[in-house]
Homo-oligomer: A and B are copies of this chain.
Amino acid sequence: HHHEQIHVMPEHENLNQTPTPLEVRREGSNVYIKMTAQITDIEINEDYTYKAWTFNGEAPGPLVVVEEGDMIHFTLENMDPAMDHSMDFHAVHTAPNKGFANVPSNEEGTFVYKASSPGVFMYHCGTDPALLHIANGMHGTIIVKPKGGYPTDDEVAREFVVIQNEWYEYNDIENMTNGVPKHVVFSTKALHDGQANTNGVVGALINQPFQVKAGEKIRFYVANMGPNETSSFHVIGTLFDDVYIDGQPANHFEGMQTVGLPASGGAVVEFTLKDAGEYKFVTHQFNHVQKGAVGKIIAYDG
C-alpha cells in the first residue's frame, strides 16, 4: 500500500522547499562548505512522491569533494520548521556531541574538522532516531581525494559516482525497522562538468545512462547509504580489474566480479567495457533490482 500522506508531520504539510545549491569555497587548504537541511518532495516513482527530509533538497544530498588534509569549515542551515538536524561526515575525526551536534530549526551551526583519511565516505544526519532521518533522505557521499592519488590514476579515462539507497513507507519507523525496503535505487552526482546529478529515484540511471567509450578504463566511486541493507555491486558484462575498499588506496583487490559493501561502505571500482553496447549495473541481491537498483552505461566505439 502507498499511504505516504498519513505520516506527514503537521509542520511539513504543504511544505516543499526549493532545492538550495551547495556552497563550496576554497582558501588554500581551508574549504568552506554550506549545506541546508530542508523538506523537499522527491518523486521516487510515478506513483510515489516522498516529502523527503533532505540536505539541500536532494536525496541523496549533494556530492562533497575535498582533498586529503583539507580543513573543512562546515555550516548547516536548518530550514526545517519542525525539528533538529545534524551532519555526520564519516571522513572526519571529531567528538560527535560537538562536531556533529544538533542544529535547531531556523538556526545555523558551524563545525570545523580535518579530512585526514582518503576515500569514499557516507555522510548523514545523525539526529535521533538516525534510522528515520537517513531513511527519510538525509544521506550522501563525500570523496576525500588521496594526496598520492591511486596507483591506477594514469589508466582511468572517465569516472562517475554511484550511490545506493533504500526507501520505505513514508516516515514509518516501524516499517523501516522491521520491514523490507519498498524501493532500492541508484543515483549519481556530478563529479565533473557536464555530468548528470540525480536523486535516488527509480530509473534515474536507466533514463540518464552513463556514456563512455569502449575500451577505456572507467572508475566508479560507489557508496552504499543503506540505511539497512548491504550491497553486492556488479557491472554486467565486465569485471572489476581494480578495487579499493572504502576508496583507500592501501585496500587494493583485483579481478572481482562483485564487491560486497556493508551498510555505509564505499569502494572505488575500475573496469573496462571492451565492446560498444549497453551495460547494466546492479546490486546482485536481485530482490533489490526488482525494486529499482539498476543503472545503465552506454559504451560507444572509441
Contacts and interface: CB of A to CB of B under 8 A. Distances in A.
A162 B257 CA distance: 18
Given A119-B255, A230-B230, A261 B263 contact: no
A296 B184 CA distance: 31
Nearest to A277: B95
Contacts of A275: 93-95, 98-99
A82 interface: no
Given A228-B286, A290-B173, A258 B263 contact: yes
User: Which of A250, A257, A275 has the most chain B CB atoms closer than 10 A to its own CB?
Assistant: A257
Contact of A226 (B131, B226, B237, B286): B286
Interface string A249-291: 0110111111111111110000011111111100111111111
A232 B173 CA distance: 20
B256 A248 contact: yes
A255 B118 contact: yes
Interface string A66-106: 00000000000000000000001011111111111000000
A171 B254 CA distance: 36
B93 A237 contact: yes
B259 A250 contact: no
Interface residues of A, number: 80
Contacts of A246: 255-258
Contact of A228 (B237, B239, B287): B287
Contact of A289 (B117, B131, B229, B280): B131
Contacts of A258: 90, 246, 262-265
Sorted nearest first, the 9 A-B pairs with minimum C-beta distance are A95-B277, A260-B262, A232-B262, A264-B284, A248-B255, A131-B286, A93-B274, A232-B263, A90-B257
Given A245-B253, A259-B262, A263-B283, 8 more contacts: A90-B239, A93-B272, A177-B291, A178-B180, A226-B232, A232-B262, A232-B265, A260-B265
Interface of A: 88, 90-100, 117-119, 121-122, 126, 129-131, 134-135, 173, 176-178, 180, 214, 226-232, 234, 236-239, 241, 245-246, 248, 250-251, 253-266, 272-280, 283-291, 299
